Chains A and B, each alone.
Chain A
Amino acid sequence: MLELKNISYIVEENGQNKVILDDISLTIDEHFVAITGPNGGGKSTLAKIIAGIIKPTAGKIFLDGEDITGLDITERARKGISFAFQQPVHFKGITVKDIVSIAAGRTMTTHEVCDILSEVGLCAREYVDREVNNSLSGGELKRIEIAMILARGTKLSLFDEPEAGIDLWSFNSLIKVFEKMREDINGAILIISHQERILNIAEKIVVLVNGKVSQIGTKEEVFPKLLLEATHCDALHHE
């Protein structure tokens, strides 16, 4: 499905090179893969590189065997990559129905939009004509962000911390959304998350630390070491 070969991303900061991603190679063939690891480890950068928002400094990306490294965001979206942002974007004047229709690539009926919104736990009728702006709460915007991915139904869906900014009550119902998606999806879900309940349903977990893959495996393989790493004090480690 998705293959990353020797992906590196280096930026210049105060005249010095800073390595954000360091020679990452990964293959995603499972239905549900989670990427986790400490903040600043390069997870979001990796997702943006897959979606084409950031160009890697080195390395190649293959989707179903096709080299997509040179393709832009739109071309990758059309090849079947969807990306749910960690921070949903606001649009003045664009309604929930509009944006879900744009995602689906066709004008959807209110009924169709309602069906998708219900799947992400929004009481649909109240939302279809609302604008996608700050009149909606963070949790509502995150659900709409997920609804867009469902409307697209592409072969690869990337989620960057879908739990961020969501209260515990909403999160409980959101987990059900992902569990259902895991059952229904034909393609693959790649999800960046810190939530144990999300990691629990992943077939494979990738741990990214300081721009490198520190572990890959099932939760049984990864969890014990993950807890060890969590107790490690980073500041002391560097000294």
Chain B
Amino acid sequence: MDMIQKNLLEEIADLHETPKGAYNIRANGKLDSRNTTANIDIVTKEDKPGIDIYIKPGTKNESVHIPVVISESGLDDLVYNDFHIGEGADVVIIAGCGIHNMGLETSRHDGIHSFFVGKNAKIKYVEKHYGAGNGNGERIMNPETIINLDEGAYMEMETTQIKGIDSTIRVTSAKLAAGATLEIKEKIMTHGKQYAKTDFSVDLDGADSSANVISRSVARDKSKQEFFSVINGNSECRGHSECDAIIMDDASVSASPQLTANNIDASLIHEAAIGKIAGEQLIKLMTLGLTEAEAEQQIINGFLK
């Protein structure tokens, strides 16, 4: 692995060295390195690119890292990663993709991640998308996340894209069985002429299932963001989605929430707010001695923290 790839790895997964526990590092479309443990197995798919990750029932306090780094201009990478999480497991999964494009051609990574989370299992899934490089070639990522939560399962998903991705369409769909809980936190910042589309669709199928989808974003320059969120309450359930965006410069942000209650006991809420940084916030920080630009930076940092 070269220095550029190592830097990308640090950005997306906070990895300075080989991670502990199970991991699968993919570099420029090929397997770079892999480690499995007694409880976590990683198997290369035979019918299509990608891997199957098997986590044994009852596995606790273990983690899986599956970062992808691309430093080759013009590479078009597509992977299918399936996570099979056994009953009662409690694990952390860290994914993420970094593209460094110095060339003229478009580099692209599309990761399709499917989660099959067993009964009463608990997972935290963290993914970070990052782009760098001075080339004119575009950096494109289209992650798709398909979530199936069995009875009593819990999943927390943190997805972040702060820098350097020219175009992204992020699709997340989820089906929840009885008593399952899904928490999604998305953070996005776009600048230049970037485009980011987020598309959440959650089916609350089981009794007492609940979902909370929170998106915070900042759109700068001439970038464009679209936020779609669909929550279907098909039983006695609770759903909440929130889209909170700061718009700056000549950017554009649209939010399209959709709530459907198919059951009298479904309780669904959506909140959306788009606006520029409030003048009084800037003034307050300026009275503390910050310049307007420094105040703006503090407000954005806090908002996306």
Contacts and interface: CB of A to CB of B under 8 A. Distances in A.
Interface of A: 51, 53, 72-74, 77-78, 81-83, 85, 87, 89-95, 98-99, 102-103, 105, 148, 152
Interface string B293-305: 0000011011111
A77 B289 CA distance: 5
Contact of A93 (B288, B289, B291, B302): B302
Interface of B: 216, 244, 278, 280-281, 283-292, 298-299, 301-305
A94 B277 CA distance: 14
A152 B302 contact: no
Contacts of A89: 278, 280-281, 283-284
Contacts, number: 60
B283 A94 contact: no
A93 B290 contact: no
By Cβ-Cβ distance, the 6 closest A-B pairs, closest first, are: A93-B302, A94-B302, A73-B286, A77-B289, A89-B284, A93-B305
Nearest to A90: B281
A81 B75 CA distance: 56
A94 B286 contact: no
Contacts of A148: 288
B247 to A, nearest CB: 14
A103 B287 CA distance: 9
Interface of B is mostly: helix
B302 A83 contact: no
Given A93-B216, A93-B305, A102-B290, 18 more contacts: A53-B283, A74-B289, A74-B290, A74-B291, A77-B286, A78-B289, A81-B287, A82-B287, A85-B284, A89-B278, A89-B283, A92-B302, A92-B303, A93-B304, A94-B302, A98-B298, A102-B285, A152-B289
Contacts of B305: 93
Contacts of B285: 102
Contacts of A93: 216, 301-305
A83 B303 contact: no
Contacts of B280: 85, 87, 89
